[in-house]
């Protein structure tokens, strides 16, 4: 007689492959999907949990291909902001920054500074050590990680604005290989951030040869997303061409009104690369604002040597004069400064500026906008984050619609309740996946439901070689989201970000409910996923 740990009845199944929906029952035993199809009524009596999903959609759990949870997982293990969206797996270690290796330089300094604020000690240097720390405490979702290029570079050569020596290059390759052996899924780069911004393309090519040997992926926050966008995409494609490594262009967008429309050209470039036999894809989130650290408004050279050197330059009148001239070439009008909103500050005395536009901060301080920028950076040890309203809705929609685009939050896991509700983080961290299903599927019809789910599941699992996840089929891990297609939507806003989406009813991670009847259960069934070279 059939019996299940979880029996989901009458669901409209969208299996993640892009195939047609069908009505079915789903039986879960342990951490696996045991049955998809008709299940006799008598199984109800012998099953531990029975859910009637009539009128609801059941799909594979969503895969966040561009997350930043990393060591945030040490304080937000339940991953409420992720599970409430239906996310069951996150690819972390993006934009060149990973939790390991952290041997020296600004990467170690910044990690220890952040952890100190959370009352946590960095008990690891290598990736295997960090993953063990994660496993000790449990996780709300599955975590797969990349190795950050900035983390590698800083660990080997600090924050110097120069090319690595032959010995340093070899050491980076050894550290990368070690992390890939320990289960990393590939390499990420953040080529606008120090120290990665000081690298030359050949450095990435050499590292990606190692990634290719281990059948990993290279995910890149490209070198420029504004005036030099096309050249930056060409660089990413060229890495694929020289190494045959699969490339993922992270949060693909065109920043600044003068650059809107360029994604039409870059998507054609990506398509042509694939037609020539390369594997180049991208991801995006459904919002017209970006978010990063406030210090990224400063010229590249200011970042050489790390945070201490940056702050010294801001306090040097001669250096400050040069910095001001460069910054004010890009920020000319009041409207330019108004595009920047302060998101989070580390300094408690600056909290009143969270959620405030930079031009308004200047008025409050009685300073010019540039002086306000410098004031915040100096008073906050350059830890302030910002949100920039610089994208075009048409561009965002075009990228999301593209058939090789996946979905990523570009965010870390957050609590939905105190403590650890900090600042005014970007709403993408709370609403990305429901917003796709509500806005781009139900409201505008830009995507079909099956295509949207494919982007969120099997396309991502296939790209990153995540085995037995990303499809709702027998024998696969029971990562499942059950949602109401008529209600699902985001509710998070830029001024009230800590808000759960609507319409996500049940979420299972490895067969255990992490969301039940629309509420987080605070269960910890997630796992650290380890990449295998033979996958």
For residue range 35-56, what is the model confidence (pLDDT) as tens digits? 999 999 999 999 999 999 999 9
Predicted local distance difference test score (pLDDT) of residue 421: 64
Same domain? 363 vs 397: no
**Helix-then-strand count for the chain, H and E:** 18, 21
The domain total for the chain is 3
Higher pLDDT, 504 or 76: 504
Predicted local distance difference test score (pLDDT) of residue 480: 99
Q: Check whether 324 has a pLDDT greater than 90.
A: yes
Same domain? 529 vs 438: yes
Residue owning tokens 């806005």:
439
Question: pLDDT for 279-297, tens place per residue?
Answer: 999 999 999 999 999 999 9
Are residues 18 and 450 in contact, defined by beta-carbon separation less than 8 angstroms? yes
Same domain? 458 vs 533: yes
Question: Which of 430, 461, 488 delimits the end of a domain?
Answer: 430
What number is the average pLDDT over the span 294-320?
A: 96
Same domain? 316 vs 408: no
Q: Check whether 534 has a pLDDT greater than 70.
A: no
SS3 96: coil
Same domain? 400 vs 382: no
In sequence order, which residues have a C-beta less than 8 Å from that of residue 277 and are 6 or more positions away? none
Share the mean pLDDT of the chain: 96
Q: Taking Cα atoms as reference points, which of 199, 182, 171 lies closest to residue 147?
A: 182
Question: pLDDT for 261-282, tens place per residue?
Answer: 999 999 999 999 999 999 999 9
**Domain of 230?**
62-288+390-430
Same domain? 91 vs 222: yes
Question: Which of 356, 388, 420 delimits the end of a domain?
Answer: 388
Predicted local distance difference test score (pLDDT) of residue 420: 58
Tokens standing for residue 482: 């059950």
CA 168/CA 105 separation, integer angstroms: 14
Question: pLDDT for 448-469, tens place per residue?
Answer: 999 999 999 999 999 999 999 9
Same domain? 355 vs 404: no
Q: Check whether 435 has a pLDDT greater than 90.
A: yes
Same domain? 256 vs 238: yes
Predicted local distance difference test score (pLDDT) of residue 123: 82
Q: Taking Cα atoms as reference points, which of 43, 97, 42, 45 lies closest to residue 67?
A: 97
Same domain? 165 vs 284: yes
Same domain? 256 vs 233: yes
**Residues of the chain with pLDDT > 70: what percent?**
98
Give the DSSP per-residue string, 371-416: HHHHHHHHHTTT--EEEE----HHHHHHHHHSTTEEE---B----S
CA 83/CA 64 separation, integer angstroms: 11
Are residues 86 and 428 in contact, defined by beta-carbon separation less than 8 angstroms? no
What number is the average pLDDT over the span 162-178?
A: 98
Q: What is the CATH number of the domain that holds 465?
A: 2.30.40.10
Same domain? 346 vs 446: no
Strands in 242-379 per DSSP E = 247-249, 280-284, 290-293, 340-344
Predicted local distance difference test score (pLDDT) of residue 406: 99
With cut-offs at 50, 70 and 90, classify the pLDDT of residue 97.
very high
Question: pLDDT for 485-514, tens place per residue?
Answer: 999 999 999 999 999 999 999 999 999 999
Q: What is the CATH number of the domain that holds 175?
A: 3.20.20.140
Predicted local distance difference test score (pLDDT) of residue 535: 46
Question: Which of 388, 412, 446 delimits the end of a domain?
Answer: 388
Same domain? 89 vs 123: yes
């Amino acid at each position: 007689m059939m019996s299940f740990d979880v029996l989901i009845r009458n669901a409209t199944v969208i299996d993640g492959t892009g195939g047609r929906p069908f009505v079915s029952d789903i039986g879960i035993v342990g951490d696996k999907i045991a049955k998809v199809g008709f299940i006799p009524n008598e199984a109800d009596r012998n099953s531990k949990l029975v859910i009637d999903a009539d009128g609801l959609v059941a799909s594979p759990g969503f895969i966040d291909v561009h997350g930043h949870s990393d060591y945030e997982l040490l304080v937000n293990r339940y991953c409420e902001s992720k599970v409430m969206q239906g996310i069951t797996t996150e690819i972390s270690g993006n934009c060149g920054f990973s939790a390991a290796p952290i041997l020296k330089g600004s990467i170690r300094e910044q990690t220890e500074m952040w952890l100190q604020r959370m009352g946590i000690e960095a008990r690891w240097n290598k990736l295997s050590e960090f993953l063990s720390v994660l496993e000790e405490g449990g996780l709300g979702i599955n975590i797969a990680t990349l190795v950050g290029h900035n983390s590698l570079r800083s660990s080997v050569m600090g924050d110097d604005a120069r090319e690595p020596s032959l010995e340093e290059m070899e050491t980076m390759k050894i550290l990368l290989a070690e992390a890939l052996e320990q289960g990393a899924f590939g390499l990420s780069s953040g080529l606008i951030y120090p120290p990665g911004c000081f690298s030359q393309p050949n450095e990435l090519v050499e590292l990606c040869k190692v990634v290719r040997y281990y059948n990993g992926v290279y995910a890149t926050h490209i070198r420029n997303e504004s005036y030099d966008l096309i050249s930056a995409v060409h660089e990413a494609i060229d890495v694929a061409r020289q190494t045959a490594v699969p490339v993922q262009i992270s949060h693909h967008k065109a920043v600044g009104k003068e650059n809107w429309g360029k994604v039409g050209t870059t998507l054609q470039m990506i398509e042509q690369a694939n037609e020539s036999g390369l594997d180049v894809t991208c991801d995006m989130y459904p919002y017209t604002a970006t978010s990063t650290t406030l210090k990224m408004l400063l010229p590249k050279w200011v970042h050489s040597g790390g945070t201490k050197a940056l702050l010294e330059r801001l306090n040097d009148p001669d250096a400050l004069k040069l910095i001001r001239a460069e910054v004010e070439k890009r920020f000319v009008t009041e409207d330019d400064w108004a595009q920047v909103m302060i998101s989070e500050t580390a300094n408690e005395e600056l909290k009143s500026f969270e959620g405030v536009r930079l031009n308004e901060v200047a008025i409050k301080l009685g300073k010019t906008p540039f002086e306000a920028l410098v004031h915040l950076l100096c008073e906050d040890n350059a830890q302030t984050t910002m949100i920039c309203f610089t994208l075009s809705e048409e561009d965002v929609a075009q990228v999301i619609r593209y058939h090789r685009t996946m979905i990523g939050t570009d965010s870390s896991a957050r609590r939905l309740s105190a403590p650890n509700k900090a600042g005014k983080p970007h709403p993408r961290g709370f609403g990305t996946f429901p917003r796709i299903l509500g806005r781009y599927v139900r409201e505008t019809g830009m995507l079909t439901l099956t295509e949207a789910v494919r982007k969120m599941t099997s396309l991502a699992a296939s790209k990153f070689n995540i085995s037995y996840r990303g499809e709702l089929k027998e024998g696969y891990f029971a990562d499942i989201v059950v949602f109401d297609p008529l209600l699902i939507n985001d509710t998070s806003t830029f001024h009230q970000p800590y808000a759960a989406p609507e319409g996500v009813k049940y979420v299972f991670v490895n067969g255990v409910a992490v969301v039940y009847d629309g509420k987080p259960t605070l269960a910890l069934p997630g796992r650290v996923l380890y990449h295998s070279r033979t996958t």
